Structure formats: C-alpha cells, structure tokens
Structure 1
C-alpha cells in the first residue's frame, strides 16, 4: 500500500548494472525486473527501487544520503559483502540502538548494514 508522503522508491546510479545486480543478489538475495539495458528494478527488499546506468557514484564523503540495510547477523553479512567484492569503509561499530558497518559495492556506491 502506498502511504501519503512516504518515501516509496529509490533510484540508485550504477556504473555497471550487471555488477550491482550480481553483488546485491549474492549478498542479500535481491531479485530484479529489467526494463531495458539501462534500468533494473528491485522489489520486496523493504522498499522498491531500481539501478540506472550512470557514470557517478555516491558516498558519505560527497554528502550523499546513506542507504542502510538491516541484517540479523552483522558479522555474517560483513563476510558476504567482502566475498562478493565489496570493500569495508567502516568496520563494525556501535551507535545508539545497535551496531553497523559501511561498505562500497563494486561500482563504488557506499551503503551501511546495521543490527540490534
């Protein structure tokens, strides 16, 4: 159900959509619907969105928003991120409400994963 004034879709730039799809599929189990060679939609991951072909990436250092993914097992997810070619940019640390780490996926975009 779409809620009035809620965030309900994300569009994420990707230098290589196939690489981004493979990474998030391997680590987080995401699936996709392709809309041509320059756009791929993901669903059922907490929010719907898509990867679009672009020659840019986003990081906190550039002042971009941080997309945070939930995991029940932070250490296991960190291991999966590294095994899939991600780079850890901030090791696991505590914050009020839980713990998290930051990483870049193979196309250079920065994300975080958190747990209680």
Structure 2
C-alpha cells in the first residue's frame, strides 16, 4: 500500500474488500475497464487489486448475491455508467436522485450488485 493511502486511512473505515468470482480473469478485465483497477496475481485462485482509494482481492468460488452493496464515487457519473456498460455490466437501477446526490446500481459479470454515486 502506498504512503499516500496510508496517510488517508480513516479509523474503522473500509480498507480492503474481497470478492468471490467464478472467473478471476473475467473479473480483472471488467474492473480494469470500468474503474482502472490494477491487479497482482497470487497463484491461480487469488488476485489482489489496487484502486486509487480502495484495495481488495478476488478469490475463486461461487458468488453469493445480496450480501453487501459497495458504493463507488464518480466525478462523472454518466461516463462511469458508460464504462460499466461497455465492460459488460448490467444497469439494474438507472441514475436516480437521492439526498446528497445521484447514483446508479449495476451488476458485474459475477452478479454482484454495486452502486456508483456523485454529488
């Protein structure tokens, strides 16, 4: 983890997220195309990812939908939505307003539902 990330870590905030994926290479391609995440493989059944403000990993297995909704921030929600669609994501709730901003929700290629928000 870079020193910059260490300097912005907040007490009791999400620091690392692990997903289960049926196809780790497919997940890597999707998240690299959608959000620019970078990956480091640790064997054939695990890869770690690094984004600008989140780190995590993917492990081999069968995903279970409906457990946690992860929400990502975007400065340009329309552009992010287009990247998600172009990478193969499916929009399950189109952009809508909520107190504090706008967001949309999508499923990735393993069926996980995530959201993206903006002010």
TM over 0.5: yes
RMSD: 1.5
Q: Distance in 2 between matches of 1:99 and 1:3?
A: 24
Per the alignment, residue 47 of structure 2 pairs with: 40
Is 1:76 the equivalent of 2:79? Answer: yes
Q: CA deviation at 1:91?
A: 0.5
Q: Structure 1 residues 88 and 44, CA, compared in 2 at 3 Å: closer, same or farther?
A: closer
Q: Distance in 1 between matches of 2:109 and 2:51?
A: 22
Gaps of 5+ in 1: none
Do 2:42 and 2:48's aligned partners in 1 also have CA atoms closer than 8 Å? yes
Aligned residues: 112
TM-score (norm 2): 0.86
Q: Structure 1 residues 3 and 113, CA, compared in 2 at 3 Å: closer, same or farther?
A: closer
Q: CA deviation at 1:54?
A: 1.1
TM-score (norm 1): 0.88
SS of 1:77 mapped into structure 2: helix
Per the alignment, residue 24 of structure 1 pairs with: 31
